[in-house]
């Protein structure tokens, strides 16, 4: 993933950077104690850009709205359970009682951990805990702490330490977290440092197991679809399956598609203990190799998981398509039984003709593929954004070390699920809007005219073709301009091609510019449309295992169609939307940072294996006044400070797309290729510092 440059004009934008001298030797470090750290933009790979529905991330428009989590490359299946942790404190009742939709007050910041993540060291005769991460919180004491000795822990261990009370004494070790040179241990520590609980209160676990064992209310009407051929398509590593599909060609020429979503509301009554804890968490958090689930495992990986061969309660959206047009849609509770568990790679092989499809799901898969293709063609013809990005997928060895990383690209199998889930979300939102049922919509407002005009100017400065744009645009016109820019960027990248560095002909840098022009997507009780998808009606409905707004939408839908649920309280929706939006942003920040950390560990091991003095072909993916972000080595990325480019003064142009040397006139542009070497890695921060390659006298050549 790409690092995020600061917004143009920040961090020295438009100011000259004086050349300077840097360290002469490569260095690595895992601590977080350096006080001279430059302010770094947070996010996956360091970049903070609008996701497919406008949330700041690096995902394309449409991915996280496919109902499958936060993008086609999400680690839904990376549900590796960590060692048992101390039980979390009991879930607090939501303010105002247990009314449907009630959620806690939105957080002012991250929830405090139960201690400070630190590394044990010895100072004289004392055992001390050195804080491992550099983040600090208001009112929290930090810095080196003298700790009480514990025979279970020794110097060099990564621990969670509780500071001494103000009355005196030494800090106490709450529990051990592993070793600071093991990526899996550091990622676990990071989740704790970010305020994630890493467990459920025993009372919540018991309530979830009781709900699982009790099963859905038998008095609630359900349509029996167990004889209907049904299948799931997910990542190969997935462990929870909250959506399944069925499809068939009708005699009247229509194609009927059934989108089945796990009926979480049947197991999580509004206002129950499990519901209050799910509302507090609001979302699952996925980091490499680990997950902080919104629901206990008894539900997320068992009762609500649509595994093959087992009858499961679902909420079904049944849609008849005539090409891309919806003839009719209906909604009901159902009982389904999945016939097959397919994965994306397998489906892509089937589509490529290298693997045969099997009965009974071969014909339904072909029918679903035809509908998806029609929806895709319509989307291309509309003013929807066309953005392609990728997310890293990591593989760990038995010792918890990062063994491999590969990008997860959008393929036809991903698009099939994406289009069908978006269609289901759209139909649910339309029904709820038409009937005035309180719920949360997924809102992505159009960009403002100034942002669209700046995007046009940025692309033009890089020689990318741009659409006509007038100085004063309406939001609708601005949305059309940004969408047109996204298509022209795609065409530009196709012409320039891919690079051996792992960057993609400038796609990452140009995609970021597009995403920066968008507004953030939020959850709101007001249906204001989804500009990125070009839809008038939109909500999140298809991932109730992982997103609390989806569970709210389930209850709203079922109340509207006589499914036995009470509607959410309209007065609670504003607070629920604010809280869910805030929790989503916090989760994405944690996920991006975790990706950076995992990448840094992998790079460190590669340099140890192949030599720290090797050089890489790289591509500039971001620029700020202080330097350039460069992608290299098949997906790694680091920061090249301008002080390392000696012999000139550098100035960032007004558009934030080109650095120009005052003396030589040389330029460093988004998308430029250059040779780099790694100077320093700080795995705990996911930070990589670069220097120009020594092989070239002219590192910009």
pLDDT tens, position by position, 533-578 = 989 999 999 999 999 999 999 999 999 999 999 999 999 999 999 9
**Domain annotation covers residue 454:** no
Does one domain contain both 440 and 540? yes
- Strand bridging mode 673-682 / 27-29: parallel
Does one domain contain both 590 and 606? no
- The whole-number pLDDT of residue 503 equals 43
Does one domain contain both 251 and 394? yes
- Measured distance CA(311)–CA(72) in Å, rounded: 27
Tokens of 273: 């203990």
CB atoms under 10 Å from CB of 351, counted, come to: 17
**What CATH number corresponds to the domain at position 165?**
2.40.50
Beta strands in 184-264 (DSSP E): 223-224, 231-234, 243-249, 255-262
Does one domain contain both 338 and 415? yes
Query: Under 8 Å CB-to-CB from 684, ≥6 apart: which residues?
Result: 29, 30, 31, 32, 132, 133, 180, 186, 597
Tokens of 524: 């709101």
Does one domain contain both 417 and 529? yes
**Domain annotation covers residue 668:** yes
Does one domain contain both 320 and 238? yes
Q: Tens digits of per-residue pLDDT, 175-200?
A: 899 999 999 999 999 999 999 988 99
- Measured distance CA(329)–CA(256) in Å, rounded: 10
Contact present, 443 and 524 (Cβ < 8 Å): yes
Residue 45 pLDDT more than 70? no
Domain count, the chain: 3
- Rounded to an integer, the average pLDDT of 337-363 is 97
- Measured distance CA(686)–CA(593) in Å, rounded: 7
- The whole-number pLDDT of residue 115 equals 85
**Domain annotation covers residue 476:** no
Q: Which 8-state DSSP code applies to residue 85?
A: -
**Torsion-angle region of residue 374: left (phi > 0), alpha (psi -120 to 50) or beta?**
alpha
Beta strands in 250-324 (DSSP E): 255-262, 285-287, 290-292, 311-322
Q: Tens digits of per-residue pLDDT, 133-157?
A: 865 443 345 578 888 898 899 999 9
- Measured distance CA(67)–CA(547) in Å, rounded: 10
**Domain annotation covers residue 381:** yes
**Domain annotation covers residue 41:** yes
Which stretch of DSSP H or E encloses residue 631?
strand 627-632
Which stretch of DSSP H or E encloses residue 453?
helix 449-461
- The whole-number pLDDT of residue 698 equals 52
Does one domain contain both 396 and 441? yes
For residue 34, name the pLDDT band (cuts at 50, 70, 90): very low
Residue 54 pLDDT more than 50? no
With 0-12 CB in 10 A as exposed, 13-18 as middle and 19+ as buried, what is 433?
middle
Q: With H, G, I as helix, E, B as strand and everything else as coil, classify residue 393.
A: strand
Omega cis (within 30) before 371: no
Does one domain contain both 276 and 417? yes
Domain of 135? Answer: 116-193
Does one domain contain both 226 and 318? yes
pTM of this prediction exceeds 0.75 = yes
Query: Under 8 Å CB-to-CB from 635, ≥6 apart: which residues?
Result: 1, 392, 405, 407, 502, 599
Does one domain contain both 402 and 544? yes
- Measured distance CA(667)–CA(41) in Å, rounded: 23
For residue 36, name the pLDDT band (cuts at 50, 70, 90): very low
**What CATH number corresponds to the domain at position 609?**
2.40.50.140
pLDDT greater at residue 103 or residue 183: 183
Query: Under 8 Å CB-to-CB from 27, ≥6 apart: which residues?
Result: 679, 680, 681
Q: With H, G, I as helix, E, B as strand and everything else as coil, classify residue 13.
A: coil
- The whole-number pLDDT of residue 381 equals 82
- The whole-number pLDDT of residue 684 equals 92
Dihedrals φ, ψ of 160, to 5°?
-105, 115
Measured in whole angstroms, the distance separating CA 251 from the mean position of its chain's CA atoms is 41
Does one domain contain both 220 and 324? yes
Query: Under 8 Å CB-to-CB from 488, ≥6 apart: which residues?
Result: 459, 464, 465, 466, 467
Which stretch of DSSP H or E encloses residue 680?
strand 673-682
Contact present, 449 and 478 (Cβ < 8 Å): yes
Tokens of 315: 């909420």
- Measured distance CA(288)–CA(265) in Å, rounded: 29
For residue 471, name the pLDDT band (cuts at 50, 70, 90): confident
CB atoms under 10 Å from CB of 551, counted, come to: 28
- Measured distance CA(623)–CA(669) in Å, rounded: 8
Give the mean pLDDT of the chain: 82
Q: Which 8-state DSSP code applies to residue 276?
A: H
- What number of residues does the chain have? 701
- In the chain, what percentage of residues exceed pLDDT 70? 79
Query: Under 8 Å CB-to-CB from 506, ≥6 apart: which residues?
Result: 462, 492, 493, 496, 619, 670, 671
Q: Using CA atoms in the order 62, 63, 66, 68, what is the torsion angle rounded to 10 degrees?
A: -170
- Domain final residue pick, 572, 596, 620: 596
**Domain annotation covers residue 262:** yes
**Domain annotation covers residue 461:** no
Q: With H, G, I as helix, E, B as strand and everything else as coil, classify residue 95.
A: coil
Q: Tens digits of per-residue pLDDT, 633-678?
A: 878 999 999 988 877 899 999 999 999 998 888 899 998 999 999 9
Looking at the DSSP bridge assignments, the partners of residue 296 are none
- Domain final residue pick, 193, 223, 238: 193
For residue 110, name the pLDDT band (cuts at 50, 70, 90): very low
- Domain final residue pick, 167, 193, 219: 193
Dihedrals φ, ψ of 352, to 5°?
-80, -10
Does one domain contain both 245 and 226? yes
Closest CA relative to residue 177, chosen from 134, 131, 227, 117: 117
pLDDT greater at residue 61 or residue 521: 521
Exposure class string for 627-656: b at 16+ Cβ within 10 A, else e: bbbbbbbebbbbbbbbebbeebebbbbebb
CB atoms under 10 Å from CB of 361, counted, come to: 20
With 0-12 CB in 10 A as exposed, 13-18 as middle and 19+ as buried, what is 356?
exposed
Residue 63 pLDDT more than 90? no
**Domain annotation covers residue 621:** yes
- Measured distance CA(659)–CA(469) in Å, rounded: 25
Contact present, 220 and 333 (Cβ < 8 Å): yes
Q: Tens digits of per-residue pLDDT, 679-695?
A: 999 999 999 999 998 75
């Amino acid at each position: 993933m790409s690092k995020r440059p600061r917004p143009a004009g920040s961090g020295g934008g438009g100011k000259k950077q004086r050349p300077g001298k840097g360290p002469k030797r490569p260095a690595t470090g895992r601590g977080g104690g350096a006080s001279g750290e430059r302010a770094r933009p947070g996010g996956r790979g360091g970049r903070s850009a609008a996701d497919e529905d406008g949330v700041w991330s690096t995902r394309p428009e449409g991915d996280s709205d496919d109902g499958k989590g936060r993008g086609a490359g999400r680690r839904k299946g990376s549900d590796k359970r960590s060692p048992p942790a101390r039980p979390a404190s009991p879930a607090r009742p939501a303010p105002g009682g247990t009314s449907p939709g009630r959620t806690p007050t939105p957080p002012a910041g991250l929830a405090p951990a139960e201690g400070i993540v630190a590394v044990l060291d010895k100072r004289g005769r004392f055992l001390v805990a050195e804080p491992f991460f550099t983040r600090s919180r208001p009112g929290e004491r930090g810095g080196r702490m003298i700790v009480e000795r514990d025979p279970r822990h020794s110097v060099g261990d990564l621990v969670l330490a509780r500071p001494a009370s103000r009355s005196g004494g030494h800090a106490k070790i709450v529990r051990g977290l592993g070793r600071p040179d093991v990526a899996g241990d550091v990622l676990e520590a990071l989740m704790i440092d970010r305020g994630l609980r890493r467990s459920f209160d025993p009372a919540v676990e018991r309530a979830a197991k009781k709900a699982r064992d009790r099963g859905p209310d038998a008095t609630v009407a359900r349509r029996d679809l167990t004889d209907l051929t049904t299948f799931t398509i997910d990542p190969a590593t997935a462990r929870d399956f909250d959506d399944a599909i069925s499809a068939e060609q009708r005699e009247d020429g229509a194609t009927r598609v059934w989108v089945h979503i796990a009926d979480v509301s049947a197991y999580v009554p509004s206002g129950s203990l499990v519901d209050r804890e799910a509302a507090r968490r609001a979302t699952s958090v996925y980091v490499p190799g680990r997950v902080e689930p919104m629901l206990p495992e008894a539900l997320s990986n068992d009762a609500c998981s649509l595994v093959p061969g087992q009858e499961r309660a679902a909420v079904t959206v049944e849609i008849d398509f005539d090409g891309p047009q919806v003839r009719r849609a209906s909604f009901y509770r159902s009982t389904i039984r999945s016939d097959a568990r397919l994965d994306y790679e397998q489906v892509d092989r089937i589509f490529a003709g290298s693997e045969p499809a099997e009965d009974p799901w071969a014909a339904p898969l072909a029918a679903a593929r035809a509908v998806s293709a029609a929806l895709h063609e319509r989307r291309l013809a509309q003013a929807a954004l066309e953005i392609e990005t990728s997310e890293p997928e990591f593989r760990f060895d038995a010792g918890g070390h990062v063994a491999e990383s590969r990008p997860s690209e959008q393929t036809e199998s991903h698009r099939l699920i994406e289009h069908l889930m978006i269609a289901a979300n759209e139909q649910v939102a339309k029904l709820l809007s038409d009937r005035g049922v309180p719920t949360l919509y997924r809102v992505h407002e159009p960009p403002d005219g100034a942002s669209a005009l700046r995007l046009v100017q940025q692309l033009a400065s890089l020689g990318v073709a741009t659409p006509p744009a007038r100085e004063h645009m309406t939001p609708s016109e601005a949305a059309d301009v940004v969408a047109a820019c996204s298509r022209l960027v795609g065409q530009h990248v196709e012409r320039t091609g891919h690079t051996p560095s792992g960057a993609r002909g400038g796609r990452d840098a140009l995609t970021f510019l597009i995403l920066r022009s968008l507004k953030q997507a939020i959850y709101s009780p007001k249906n204001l449309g989804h500009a990125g998808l070009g839809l008038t009606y939109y909500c999140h409905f298809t991932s109730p295992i992982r997103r609390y707004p989806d569970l709210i939408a389930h209850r709203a839908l079922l109340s509207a169609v006589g499914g036995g649920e009470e509607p959410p309280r309209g007065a609670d929706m504003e607070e629920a939307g604010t809280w869910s939006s805030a929790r989503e942003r916090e989760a994405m920040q944690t996920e991006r940072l975790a990706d950076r950390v995992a990448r840094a560990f992998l790079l460190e091991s590669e340099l140890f294996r192949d030599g720290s003095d090797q050089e890489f072909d790289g591509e500039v993916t971001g620029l700020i006044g202080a330097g350039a972000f460069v992608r290299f080595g098949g997906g790694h990325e680091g920061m090249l400070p301008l002080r390392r480019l000696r012999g000139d003064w550098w100035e960032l142009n007004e558009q934030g797309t080109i650095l120009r040397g005052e003396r030589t006139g040389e330029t460093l542009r988004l998308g430029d290729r250059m040779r780099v070497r790694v100077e320093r890695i700080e795995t705990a921060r996911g930070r990589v510092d670069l220097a120009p390659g020594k092989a070239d006298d002219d590192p910009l050549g």
